[in-house]
Amino acid sequence: MSAPSHDQFLPLFLPVQSDLRAFIGAAVRDPAARDDIFQEVAVVLWKKFEVYDPSRPFGAWARGIAIRKILEDRRVRDKSPTACTAEQLEALSAGFAADEAEASWQDREKALNRCLDQLPPRSARLLRERYHQNHSIEQIAEQEGLSLDAIYQSLSRLRRQLRECVQRRLGLAID
Amino acid sequence: MIPTADSLAFQTVLERWLEQTATAEEEAQLWQWVSESRTCARELAAASRFHGMLAETIKARDIEDEARRQLALTPRSHETTRALPRVEVKAGLSSWRPFALAAAIALVGMLSVLYWPTSPPHPWVGQSPVSLRPSAPERTPVAPVRPVPALTTKGLAGQPHLKTSPMTLIEQLDGFFIGPLSIDALPLGQAMGLLRQLLEEKETEGRVRLTSLHITVPAGAMARRVSFHTQTPLPFLKAVRAIAALAGCDVQAAGETIAIILHPSIFPLAVEKKKITDLLVGRVGRDGTPLQQDPLRLQALMDDAAMLGIVPANDGTAMLSSGQWAALLQLMDSRDYLNNLPLPTFAVYNLPADQAPLTGAGVLSPEQAEDFIEDMTRIGRRPDQIIIPRADAADPTLPIVLIPDGTEIRIALNASPLPQDQPTTPLVANNSPRQISDPRTLPIDSTRAGIGPVSSQPPKPMTYAASSQGSGFVLSDPNATNTIQVIVTIPTTQPPP
């Protein structure tokens, strides 16, 4: 196995960086900590790139390093009593690997944009408030004059519809 | 019992976990199921991936929509740059036409030409998270380095006439200084809009056709948030470069377009240890002193660094990103430029006598100059020429020479050879206008004026004015047969102290 050149790093890293963020985000719920860990992982990936085995999927290698960083961070912060274990993170990583085999992030994102284009204005506004404005369900409920449960159900239904829409567009089986 | 991934029990907990409303017990239960069931692990992975993508995509779309709305952009596709390589077009297959169209739209989206109107200030400027530190009213910009070449034009119907500036729009923009400025976590698209807005606020005299200015921001960088704080005024393009660098982008500027180019790198940019005093290596002050040994410039560098959130150590090193480094570089270049600038930019108006701020030739007071500019703005009159001194000239204190020759007026800059056989009127020199009793008939005195190339010539009509204190000059063509034509030269800004 020949050591990969750093010239090859970005072409491998850029396509998986959003996915890596999502993986870290699944294990670390605090946005600031998540960003910090992502940065640290990116630096380690760069520094350790020479030992990367190109015959392995880059995403899996990156998640392996992310798991170590997440666990390290957890030891330092020690704020999460329900924190997942190394085994659970490995299981999640395997889940990511199985799911990513179906379609790339780029194809999914493209399909999602198409699906979002078809949303009625009220649904689009709800998603915007939740994901761009980062409003809590409570804040949205108050703003919309609806119950917490109504907003919760609406968001849940919207996510499900969008996921199905994306899967339809990609020709994937709908669970 | 382990539930299946599509079971109500798992889906309920998963939904609550995604919304961060799950209890600690529910969260622990979820992770337990994930470790025991591959399908549950895969479902959590798929949901997390989708959740992250949804948040990212909605944020990007929302910011792009907002930027387009605020900047009056034409609608375009929401394709992202990452989606581009996936689009393939095969000629001859009509079924691929929609994809070809999508590719074209995506390409347009990536280039993302932002046409900003030159209309009155947009209300969003005050509502966005941008805070502009108050600065003293600055009516005029400072000059860029690039000189305007000498030009000669024939007048019409006996009227001296001046050509318009040969400088491109982009080159003219460097004559406008932006700052002090404080941008806090603003998406790049909006930050560029803000710069555009500030430029328009500076360009109140209609000297530059800002309607032609195109600024393109790639869709992939539109939502990147940047913070940029500076007390140092920057030329417009340097401000654009600094802010783009902080967003991990490069800038290409030519003609009437400023293109922000997405640099393939990790964003947010990683930081590394660098010696920021290296930014001063090779730079010298006006007296030739290396700036590394200039305590004032060292302090200025530290101040600029601090404004960008960089904390230098005692040895001059600091942890900073490549974008912060590039922004600091632009600030250093701006300081150098300001420190080395000998003269302001001048706007030249070619006017009938009844619009002249003075009767006959003479030097304008600051008040007269200001009134004159207001009058010109009110009647919508633009300068016939903008003259920009060059900082690298052999004698940069003599940037402007007007050469009346019958119905022609030749404008020459300091780098241009002066004619040996024509009356010459140097308008800007080192002398104080207070020493000149009759500026139209003062003979050449090279020891006082330092005008070099014409010092050996016999006395000629000329007008002097001090270079740094001059508020403007009025020249009545000394060779003209009547007095209805005047040239008013107004500094569009004062050089820095």
pLDDT for residue B244: 94
Q: Which residues does B86 contact at the CB level (< 8 Å), separation at least 6?
A: A104, A106, A107, A110
* pLDDT, average across residues A46-73: 90
Using 50, 70 and 90 to split pLDDT, how confident is the model at B385?
low
The residue behind tokens 């990007």 is B60
Between residues B254 and B338, the one the model is more confident about? B254
Residue A107 C-alpha, separation from nearest chain B C-alpha, in angstroms: 7
**Closest alpha carbon to B186 in B195, B177, B178, B176:** B195
Q: Which residue ranges make up each domain of chain A?
A: 6-100, 105-170
Question: Percentage of chain A surpassing pLDDT 90?
Answer: 18
Question: Percentage of chain B surpassing pLDDT 90?
Answer: 5
| pLDDT at position A53 over 80 | yes
| pLDDT at position B8 over 70 | yes
**Does B69 reach chain A within 8 Å, measured CB to CB?**
no
Chain mean pLDDT for chain A? 85
Distance CA B292, CA B324 (A): 20
Is B49's CB within 8 Å of A88's CB?
Answer: no
Residue A55 C-alpha, separation from nearest chain B C-alpha, in angstroms: 23
Q: Which residues does B175 contact at the CB level (< 8 Å), separation at least 6?
A: B141, B142, B143, B144, B235, B345, B386, B388, B492
Q: Please, which residues 221-260 of chain B have a Cβ atom closer than 8 Å to chain A?
A: none
Is B54's CB within 8 Å of A127's CB?
Answer: yes
Q: Which residues does B144 contact at the CB level (< 8 Å), separation at least 6?
A: B171, B172, B174, B175, B235, B345, B388
Distance CA B281, CA B291 (A): 7
The torsion angles phi and psi of B304, rounded to 5 degrees, stand at -60, -40
pLDDT for residue B436: 31
The residue behind tokens 């930050």 is B191
pTM of the entire structure? 0.46
Distance CA A89, CA B361 (A): 83
Least-confidence region, from A27-36, B17-26, B29-38, B455-464: B455-464
Coil vs helix vs strand at B125:
helix
| pLDDT at position B479 over 60 | no
pLDDT for residue A67: 93
pLDDT for residue B138: 31
CB B331 within 8 Å of CB B229: no
pLDDT for residue B135: 32
> Strand runs (DSSP E) across B361-431, as ranges?
362-363, 385-387, 401-405, 408-412, 425-426
Mutate which: B21, B35, B101, B271, vs A, most A CBs within 10 A: B35
Helix (H) or strand (E) holding B207: none
Q: For chain B, how far is it from start to end, CA to CA, in angstroms? A: 79
pLDDT for residue B392: 47
Q: For strands B401-405 and B425-426, give the pairing.
A: antiparallel
Q: What is the DSSP letter of B161?
A: -
List, for residues B282-306, the tens digit of each pLDDT value.
Answer: 888 767 788 888 888 888 888 889 8
The torsion angles phi and psi of B470, rounded to 5 degrees, stand at -60, 135
In CATH terms, is domain A105-170 a member of 3.40.50.180?
Answer: no
Closest Cβ–Cβ partner in B41, B79, B266 for A42: B266
Is B268's CB within 8 Å of A166's CB?
Answer: no
**Closest alpha carbon to A7 in A59, A55, A46:** A46
Mutate which: B21, B25, B33, B50, vs A, most A CBs within 10 A: B50
Between residues A131 and B389, the one the model is more confident about? A131
What is the interface pTM, i.e. ipTM, of the complex?
Answer: 0.89
Where is mean pLDDT largest: B18-27, B69-78, B333-342?
B18-27
Residue A74 C-alpha, separation from nearest chain B C-alpha, in angstroms: 16
Two structure tokens written together for B172: 């003219």
List, for residues B400-423, the tens digit of each pLDDT value.
Answer: 555 554 444 555 544 444 445 544
Is A82's CB within 8 Å of B53's CB?
Answer: no
Closest Cβ–Cβ partner in A35, A109, A175 for B80: A109
Between residues B407 and B351, the one the model is more confident about? B351
pLDDT for residue B365: 73
Distance CA B263, CA A10 (A): 11
| pLDDT at position B361 over 50 | yes
List, for residues B218-254, the tens digit of each pLDDT value.
Answer: 888 888 889 998 887 788 899 999 999 999 998 988 8
Which residues in chain B are contacts of A156 at CB distance < 8 A? 15, 19
Mutate which: B8, B18, B49, B224, vs A, most A CBs within 10 A: B49
Distance CA A119, CA A137 (A): 20
Q: How many Cβ atoms sit within 10 Å of the Cβ of residue B378?
A: 8
Q: Which residue ranges make up each domain of chain B?
A: 1-70, 271-340, 346-491
Distance CA B76, CA B89 (A): 20
Residue B253 C-alpha, separation from nearest chain A C-alpha, in angstroms: 26
- The 3-class SS string of chain A reads CCCCCHHHHHHHHHHHHHHHHHHHHHHCCCHHHHHHHHHHHHHHHHHCHHHCCCCCCHHHHHHHHHHHHHHHHHHHHCCCCCCCCHHHHHHHHHHHHHHHCCCCHHHHHHHHHHHHHCCCHHHHHHHHHHHHCCCCHHHHHHHHCCCHHHHHHHHHHHHHHHHHHHHHHHCCCCC
Is B270's CB within 8 Å of A43's CB?
Answer: yes
pLDDT for residue B157: 32
List, for residues B66-101, the tens digit of each pLDDT value.
Answer: 666 555 443 333 443 333 333 222 333 333 344 444
Coil vs helix vs strand at B474:
strand
User: In the CATH hierarchy, which top-level class contains the domain A6-100?
Assistant: mainly alpha
Is B45's CB within 8 Å of A19's CB?
Answer: no
* pLDDT, average across residues B8-26: 86
